[in-house]
Structure 1
Amino acid sequence: MNPSNPLVAEKRNTSCPLVFLINVDWYFLLHWRERALSARDNGWDVWVITCITDAKFRVEMESLGFNVVDVPISRHSINPLVELKVFRAVARALQSVNPAILHSVTIKPICYSLLINKVSRFPVVLSFPGLGILRSESKVSRCVWWFLRTLLGKKYVNTSVSATFENHDDRSFTQDKGLLFSHSEVVPGAGVNLQRYPLLDQKKEGVEVRVLFASRLLRSKGIAKLVNAVGQLVEEGYPIRLVVAGIADYSHSDGLQESELKIIRSKFYVDWLGQVDDMLPVFEDCDVVCLPTSYGEGIPRVLIEGAACGRPLVATDVPGCRDIINQGKNGFIVPVEDQHSLVDALKILVVDSKLRNDFGIAGRAYVESNFSDQVVVSQVLSLYQRIIMKSI
């Protein structure tokens, strides 16, 4: 604990539960572990209410000092009976814990917590790590926006609901959709541990350039476009290879199926790594990080980590990617669905090792100033502290 922290000083001898409500265990460990650890070290009694997909993840969370509650959240279900069952489980868990703050992450937990907040009224923080499907015009998207406006529109202004977004575009987008919060702010991604992801040397000119794609294997993440772009450059004689470190998500409506992944794996210029737990050796082995996504991103973690390691970036002109890439300074932004521009950007980096190095150094400096875990953690803890001090 930090004895100089007003939260700790006020709450040292009383329980101050902070509950993370999040859809799945591995996502919490990948993106929220550092923030939860810092909260723990600053006097919070941290709880994680999530769907446990593997016993090892529960053991890991408990070994970090977190209290864990398993609830059967289904990320992609729209069955009302299933959702009612999950909602009841979440409500019972929250009633038992009685959180000082409930921090809900991603859209389903956000919807559950807003309903519960109507009765319980404990402070809620809603985190939108990208808007995903909410940027589409699908029937599901329209239904979710109606639900959110019903609970967060002008008629129902709630003074106990705060929100965080990973980029300014998403924050403005929700405001344009009519959502109102007692407080909202932009927190730049999950942050990156600068010691864990150091600045790495670039390879010398003339060596085969390895382009990394690391993401969930969704069609909208653009892997098919990248495979075609790299294939075109290989046919033209450029020394380039594609490295894929991806998590299959077969249950997602946009997820690539095994037959589609098999075709990608069969390409002679593709190195298939599958799911990777430790990304540092992958960044060491690669020269460029590319994410030609059309998905509703927050700020893609692979771009932050890649820039921290001194790797130039190539990504599409969508919210989130624009926040981490300074055009022509640490990477290239290309139009969505523009195969020609993607090929041209990769070609420039393949033939110019000095530019790759310059982009890498600039990207590292940009991450140090804006995306370190210290920056992110400090902002989140300040938000918690402001909320709890208001309620004392």
Structure 2
Amino acid sequence: MANVDWFVISHRLCIAREASKQGWDVFVACEDTGRKNEIEVDGITFVDFKFSRSGTNPLNEIITLSKFLKLYKEINPDVVHHVTLKPVTYGTLVGKFLKVKGILNAVSGLGYNFTGDRKGVVQTLMIKLMRFGFNRRNVTFIFQNEDDQKALDELKITTIKNKVERIKGSGVDLDIFSESEFPSFDRIKVLLPVRMLWDKGVKELREASGLLKNKYKDKFQFILAGMADEDNKAGVPAQYLQEWQDGDYVKWIGYQKDMVSVYHDSHIVVLPSYREGMPKTLIEACAIGRPIITTDAIGCRECVDEGINGYKVPVYSIKELAEAIEKLALDQGAIIKMGKASRLKAEREFDVKNVVQKHLSIYEDLKSNLK
């Protein structure tokens, strides 16, 4: 159970496929944005399940909760794997009501309502729902970083009844995302490979690129690879991106299905995010062998060993971000050396084969509790 098809494809499809191959009847429920055929492989059953990812209207949320209830009654699952915060919250609550025996909750960041110091009725309600739903046995959590686990512990959401596992992100296929040579160093290409959300630091990168433009407009190039997710409350409007790009110094190329080629054609990967679970883009950048500039934020900091495979700057920073980009972009030797360090880090920490096997072990453990 997740939000949308493209997220499942990029982050969890490899797990679903291997589970199906090993004899599980696998159902994937999420919104179909036109890519369900990529999920309906190896015996996987796709269920088109649409709901507001960041909705706050109480009536709509009650309707969403009832949709979860109807779906779980129809499928009658033995084990449910929830991904992202709303499925985790509503799915676990419904699972408790229907006495679903095995629940796996992947908490990959705490979502829109928990970023940027947002507090209010929605967050309070979600905390209460989580406290009630999670207070049972046979609920296992996967956290991608220590900070997210600590946040739920401090809110008294998780209990001693729950099991906790730590897995660093959704992993990366080291064969597909293979280490590659750098393109020509005649012009340094700085890549931002994310959905265009304010929380990803889009505004900060725009302003940082502006500080560097007069001096380096013919030496640097900023590539924005990602869609304008305007259905998301934190979505950056397409107009903002169109106004930023000029087709030369800054290029917005939108969503790209073949991200491997996009990474190959870059020198530096940047992500000035405010908070992450464990960013897939930085894991992929490591595998390709690219140095990283990111923030010292939850989730991001785990992807960079400072001065070894990249640099970390303060969250919301502009001047420091520009300085880090300038420092690295002007040092070809550092780019090459840090790129090799990134690949070694990916091999040590982010291999998808290990991630898939760990998930299947958790499924089996939850299934054994059904007996």
Query: Normalising TM by the smaller chain, what interval?
Result: over 0.9
TM-score (norm 1): 0.88
Residue pairs, 1:239-258, within 5 angstroms = 239-258=219-238
1:220-272 CA deviation, whole Å, 9 max, x = no partner? 21122212222322312471110010111112222112321221123641122
Cα distance in 1 for residues equivalent to 2:255 and 2:183:
25
Partner residue of 2:354?
375
Contact 1:71–1:86 (CA<8 Å) still a contact in 2? no
Which string of whole-angstrom CA distances, capped at 9 and with x for unpartnered residues, describes residues 32-53 of structure 1?
1111111112221110122223
User: Separation in 1 of the partners of 2:203 and 2:267?
Assistant: 20
Report the Cα offset of residue 138 of structure 1. 2.5
Find the partner of 2:17 among 37, 42, 61. 37
Does 2:167 match 1:187? yes
Name the count of aligned residue pairs. 364
What is the rounded CA distance, in whole Å, between the counterparts of 1:129 and 1:167 in structure 2?
Answer: 8
- Contact 2:138/2:369 (CA < 8 Å) preserved in 1? no
Q: One-letter code of the match for 2:9?
A: L
Q: Is the 8 A contact 2:223 2:250 kept in 1?
A: yes
Within the candidate set 340, 359, 367, 1:361 is matched to 340
> Structure 1: which 4+ aligned runs deviate by more than 3 Å?
none
Percent of residue pairs bearing the same amino acid type: 30
Q: Write the distance in 1 (CA, Å) between the matches of 2:318 and 2:325.
A: 11
The residue number in structure 2 matching 1:12 is none
SS of the residue corresponding to residue 127 of structure 1 reads strand
Counterpart code for 2:288: C
CA separation of 1:302 and 1:259: change in aligned 2, threshold 3 A: same
* Contact 1:105–1:128 (Cα < 8 Å) also in 2: yes
Query: 1:144 pairs with 123, 126, 135, which one?
Result: 126
The 1-side partners of 2:349 and 2:37 are apart by 33
Separation of aligned partners in 2, 1:354 and 1:203: 14
Task: Return the TM-score normalized by structure 2.
Answer: 0.93
CA RMSD of aligned residues (A): 1.7
Tell me which moved more, 210-219 or 234-243: 234-243
Which position in structure 2 is the counterpart of 1:86? 64
CA contact (8 A) 1:230 1:240 kept: no
Shift in alpha-carbon separation, 1:357–1:83, aligned structure 2, 3 A? same
Map 1:1-392 onto structure 2 (within 5 A).
21-54=1-34, 57-122=35-100, 123-133=102-112, 134-135=114-115, 136-139=117-120, 140-152=122-134, 157-181=135-159, 182-203=162-183, 207-237=186-216, 239-266=219-246, 268-294=248-274, 296-392=275-371
Cα distance change on mapping 1:120 and 1:290 into 2, 3 Å: same
Give the match's secondary structure for 1:196. coil
Whether the aligned pair in 1 keeps the contact of 2:241 and 2:252 (CA below 8 Å) is: no
CA contact (8 A) 1:203 1:353 kept: no
Q: Deviations over 1:183-236 (max 9, x none)?
A: 01111111100010111112465x210000011111121122212222322312
- For structure 1, the residue ranges without an aligned partner over 5 or more in a row are 1-20
